[in-house]
Structure 1
Amino acid sequence: MTDYSSDAKIFKALCDEKRLAIINHLKSGEKCACVLIQAMNIGQSALSYHMKILCDSGIVTSRQDGKWTHYSLSQAGSEYAAKRLMELTMPESKTYLKCGE
């Protein structure tokens, strides 16, 4: 049986409006958590929650600079997410089984 746990992390990261908005903010480059908090009009704990999910998915990376964390999109993580979506949704072959076979 195939393990889909990493796929579930990717798609969980993409299934929330706030996380999609965060990804959109990060398209223009690395952002400090303080910038995202202001841009998203959310609290620090809410941002931390969403960023943990995004980082766990591999789509976003983080680095610490003093007391602030800076976030950016991971090209490798984004490419992997796109690849997995294609692999999961592209038909392998056109095999049709009749009921009872």
Structure 2
Amino acid sequence: MNPLQTREPAVDASCCVPSGRPVLGAADAQQKALVFKALADPNRLRLLSIVKAEESGESCVCDLTEPLDLGQPTVSHHLKILVEAGILHREKRGTWAYYSLVPGALDGVAGMLAAL
């Protein structure tokens, strides 16, 4: 064979046939990525742990700054991301906001992983 000639790679016809199994659509992938991104930050994981561990099932934002050694605006930002991801629920009472886990949210995250 001439060294300047190239050989076409052997093509296995079965490698190009779609499996027919359901795959993750773009919109679903976007939503799941939002949740995983929210959980990918150590401070947000700690906040989630603190809220979940609270006997009353909720935590005031005023009680979440000290354990993380972060300022209130930073903690509020992290909490907002967890709320937007559908993991925490926010309830405003007077000047304070209280956060609680959305029922079934953590089971939903586990289900997302299992479904992949």
User: Which TM class, normalised by the smaller chain length?
Assistant: 0.7 to 0.9
**Helix, strand or coil for the counterpart of 1:71?**
strand
The offset of 1:14, in angstroms, is 0.9
Query: Does residue 56 of the first structure (1) align with residue 84 of the second (2)?
Result: yes
Higher RCO (C-alpha 8 Å, min separation 6)? 1
- Unmatched tracts of structure 2, length 5 or more: 1-23
Partner Cα separation in structure 2 for residue 35 and residue 41 of structure 1: 11
Residue pairs, 1:34-53, within 5 angstroms: 34-53=62-81
The offset of 1:75, in angstroms, is 2.3
**Helix, strand or coil for the counterpart of 1:62?**
strand
Identity %: 35
Partner Cα separation in structure 1 for residue 83 and residue 113 of structure 2: 18
1:5-34 per-position Cα deviation (integer Å, ceiling 9, x unaligned): 110111011101101110110112210000
Letter in 2 for 1:57: A
Q: Give the corresponding residue for 1:32.
A: 60
Q: Which residue, 15, 34, 42 being the options, matches 1:9?
A: 34
TM-score where L is the length of structure 2: 0.71
Compare CA radii of gyration and give the structure with the larger one.
2
In the alignment of these two chains, the number of paired residues is 88
Q: State the superposition RMSD in angstroms.
A: 1.3
Partner Cα separation in structure 2 for residue 61 and residue 84 of structure 1: 20
TM-score where L is the length of structure 1: 0.80
Letter in 1 for 2:62: C
Partner Cα separation in structure 1 for residue 103 and residue 35 of structure 2: 14
- Unmatched tracts of structure 1, length 5 or more: 89-101
Deviant stretches of 4+, over 4 Å: none
